[in-house]
Amino acid sequence: MEKYKHLITQLVKFGVVGVLATLLEWGIFYVLTNVFHIHYIISTAIGFSISTIFNYYLSVKYVFDVDKEKNQKRNFLFFVVFSIIGLGLNELILWICIEKFHLYNMIGKIIATGIVMVFNFITRKLFLEKRK
């Protein structure tokens, strides 16, 4: 039971950090795309990059039981590599939603975010946390 309690607490923390990072990313995306009329692919990349750095800091500090004995540069590298993969998934899903299904860009963004969020939690849990 204790194992599940820790996992649930971790999921809640991940959710809070994710919501904050997502709001940051969506805010940047919305402003760049709809106010400055920057193409949505570029806006997504900029917002995703900024929110990834923000997310890394909070994830390491508050969410995951990071193995302090591992090289922190290595941890950051794993985080960035999987974030880039997540960005690729995000961009692909967003492109499909907008170009193929003709959805409003923010609806596509919500769908892409939900899918990438699951990917992010699984990869970060597997590669950042120390093994017990």
Tens digits of residue pLDDT in 18-43: 899 989 988 999 999 999 999 988 99
User: Quick one: average pLDDT of 89-108?
Assistant: 93
Higher pLDDT, 20 or 52: 20
Mean pLDDT value across residues 84-105: 93
Which is it for the CA torsion 47, 74, 120, 125, positive or negative?
negative
- The pLDDT of 44-53, averaged and rounded, is 89
Report CA torsion sign: 6, 12, 16, 17.
positive
Confidence bin at 48 (pLDDT 50/70/90) = confident
Count of CB atoms situated within 10 Å of the CB of 57? 13
Enclosing H/E stretch for 116: helix 105-128
Which range marks the domain in which residue 51 is found? 2-128
- Reference 119, options 95, 87, 92, 75; nearest CA is 87
CA-to-CA distance for 128 and 61, rounded, in angstroms? Answer: 12
Q: How confident is the model at residue 119 (pLDDT cuts 50, 70, 90)?
A: very high
Distance of CA 15 to the CA centre of its chain: 11
For the chain, the domain total comes to 1
Cβ atoms of 32 and 38 closer than 8 Å:
yes
Supply the pLDDT for residue 132: 63
Q: Is 67 a residue whose pLDDT tops 80?
A: no
For residues 96 and 125, give the distance between their C-alpha atoms in angstroms, rounded to a whole number. 28
pLDDT digits (tens, 9 = 90+) for 1-23: 777 888 888 889 988 998 999 89
Does the pLDDT value for residue 61 go beyond 70?
Answer: yes
